[in-house]
């Protein structure tokens, strides 16, 4: 990449796309991309659909700021920064997406357990290593008043659920990652589809006992 220009441009473009999906409305949510030892990150508390490449922060792998937007813009580093960095550290991710999708929020509330589970859905195949007959499990962690305070529980969920590429935050949204931005985007789209499918099936009164697509509340 040329001085990170491509990564910055990607973040701007993706944030605009995610805005149309309802993932980053109300200044919430965001995305980070890691390339060549540098971490590129959208700022916090801004209209994500109106970002410009000069608004993107650049950090090193330890979270130290290498480049920041012009001072007069008064932009702040994303409150998601420590959580993004944890995915890079623990999972070797190349990109992380934080979505405030309503389907992620609702999916975090439908299970009596601290995890979301779904099986026998074609879109499960979009998650690396998963197949149609597999049960997709996504851990759910409790929300906190401040984003950075989620870091410890996010780390614990990543360590416990070693095959997951996402962590739901109750009443808040979801963190999704992949080996690069393309995989992270694919994962985020598939997870969101599955979250929505689970909600719609619940509306229809479909249960795991009457339909081959099961949404289980308990461990199998």
Q: pLDDT value at position 3?
A: 55
What is the average pLDDT across 161-168? Answer: 97
Per-residue pLDDT for 217 more than 90? no
What is the average pLDDT across 10-35? Answer: 97
> Which phi and psi angles does 216 have, rounded to 5°?
-95, 140
How far is Cα of residue 153 from the mean position of the Cα atoms in its chain? Answer: 15
- Residue extents of the structural domains in the chain: 5-203
Catalytic residue among 35, 49, 115, 122: 122
User: With 0-12 CB in 10 A as exposed, 13-18 as middle and 19+ as buried, what is 202?
Assistant: middle
Please enumerate, by residue number, every residue annotated as part of a binding site.
Answer: 80, 98, 100, 172
The strand ranges marked E within the chain are: 30-35, 38-41, 57-60, 65-67, 95-99, 115-119, 135-141, 166-169, 173-178
pLDDT-derived band at 4, boundaries 50, 70, 90: confident
Retrieve residue 199's tokens: 């909600």
Mean pLDDT of all residues belonging to the chain? 91
pLDDT-derived band at 213, boundaries 50, 70, 90: very low
Question: Which CATH architecture is the domain 5-203 placed in?
Answer: 3-Layer(aba) Sandwich (3.40)
Please enumerate, by residue number, every residue annotated as part of a binding site for substrate.
Answer: 80
- pLDDT tens, position by position, 82-111: 999 999 999 999 999 999 999 999 999 998
Please enumerate, by residue number, every residue annotated as part of a binding site for Zn(2+).
Answer: 98, 100, 172
Residue 122 among the catalytic residues: yes
What is the average pLDDT across 174-203? Answer: 96
Nearest to 57 by CA among 39, 45, 73: 39
- pLDDT tens, position by position, 131-153: 999 999 999 999 999 999 999 99
């Amino acid at each position: 990449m040329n001085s990170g220009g491509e990564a910055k441009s990607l973040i701007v473009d993706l944030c605009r796309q995610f805005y149309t999906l309802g993932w980053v409305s109300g200044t919430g949510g965001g995305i980070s991309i890691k390339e060549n030892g540098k971490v590129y990150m959208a700022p916090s508390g801004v209209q994500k659909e109106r970002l410009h490449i000069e608004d993107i922060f650049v950090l090193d792998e330890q979270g130290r700021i290498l480049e920041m937007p012009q001072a007069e813009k008064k932009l702040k580093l994303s409150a998601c920064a420590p959580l993004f960095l944890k995915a890079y550290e623990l999972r070797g991710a190349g990109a992380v997406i934080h979505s405030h999708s309503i389907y992620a929020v609702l999916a975090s509330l439908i299970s009596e357990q601290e995890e979301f589970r779904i099986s026998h859905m074609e879109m499960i195949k979009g998650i690396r290593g998963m197949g149609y007959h597999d049960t997709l499990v996504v851990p759910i962690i409790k929300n906190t008043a401040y984003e950075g305070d989620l870091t410890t529980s996010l780390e614990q969920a990543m360590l416990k659920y070693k095959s997951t590429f996402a962590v739901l935050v109750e009443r808040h949204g979801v963190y999704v990652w992949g080996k690069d931005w393309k995989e992270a985007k694919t994962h985020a789209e598939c997870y969101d589809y599955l979250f929505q499918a689970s909600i719609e099936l619940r509306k229809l009164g479909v249960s795991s006992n009457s339909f081959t697509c099961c949404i289980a509340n308990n461990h199998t």
